A and B are shown apart, each in its own frame.
Chain A
C-alpha cells in the first residue's frame, strides 16, 4: 500500500506569493495531520482533521495559513501571503484512528523556502 504522498517535495518562492502544499493520506485512514518542522521550534502540529472535518487548528500560526480537506483522499495547506519565516519542512501524517495508541504515518515532507 502506498504511504502518505506529499507534493511538491521542494518549493522555493518569493515573499508575498501564495503557496499550496498537497497531501494524500493512506487509504482508509480517517485522521490527517499537518506538521511544521524547523530547527528553532522542532516539530509542531498545525491542524488535524477527522473524516475531512477540522478538529483542532490551534497550532495554525496565523490567518495567513489555511487548510482544507475536501475529501478523504486529499488535503491542502495554503499560505497566503508567504513570508521568509514560513521556511520550514511541512509534513503531512495520517492515522487510521486517533486513539492513544494509534500510529501516525508521515509523508516525506515538503521543504519550503521563502526568499
Chain B
C-alpha cells in the first residue's frame, strides 16, 4: 500500500462546477499536509497548506481528518485555469515529504 493515495482521475468538469479531491495517508504520525499544483510539464508549486481546523483560500478549501487519515481539497466555481494535476503531500517528519501520484483535473468551457 502506498503511503499517500489519491484518486488519479481524470476529473472532467464544466466551468463553474464544484469539485472535490480526497487523499488518504498511512502514517498516523504525520504532522503536516499540503496540496501542490502541477501544470503539464512544469514543476510542482504549493497551492496551500492544510491545517487541522480546515482552511480556505479564495475558491479553495482544504480539510484534514486525522481520525480517518485523509485530507481533501474542494474547488468552487472552477475556472479553465484550474486545469492541472493536484498533488497531495504528507510530511511524516521534518524534512521528508511524501507525494501522492496526483489527481488530474480538466475544466471545460
Contacts and interface: CB of A to CB of B under 8 A. Distances in A.
Interface of A: 31, 42-45, 48, 50, 55-56, 91, 98-101, 103-109
A42 B96 contact: no
A90 B100 CA distance: 17
A103 B95 contact: no
Contacts of B98: 45
Choose among A42, A56, A91 the residue with the greatest number of B CB atoms under 10 Å from its CB.
A42
Interface stretch (B39-47, B53-61, B73-81): B39-47
B68 to A, nearest CB: 20
A42 B49 contact: no
Contact of B44 (A31, A43, A56): A43
Given A100-B32, A106-B44, A108-B43, A56 B101 contact: no
17 contacts: A31-B95, A42-B99, A42-B100, A42-B102, A43-B87, A43-B101, A50-B95, A100-B32, A100-B91, A100-B94, A101-B32, A104-B46, A104-B97, A106-B43, A106-B44, A108-B43, A109-B42
B31 interface: yes
Given A42-B100, A43-B99, A104-B46, 6 more contacts: A42-B99, A43-B101, A45-B96, A98-B94, A104-B97, A108-B42
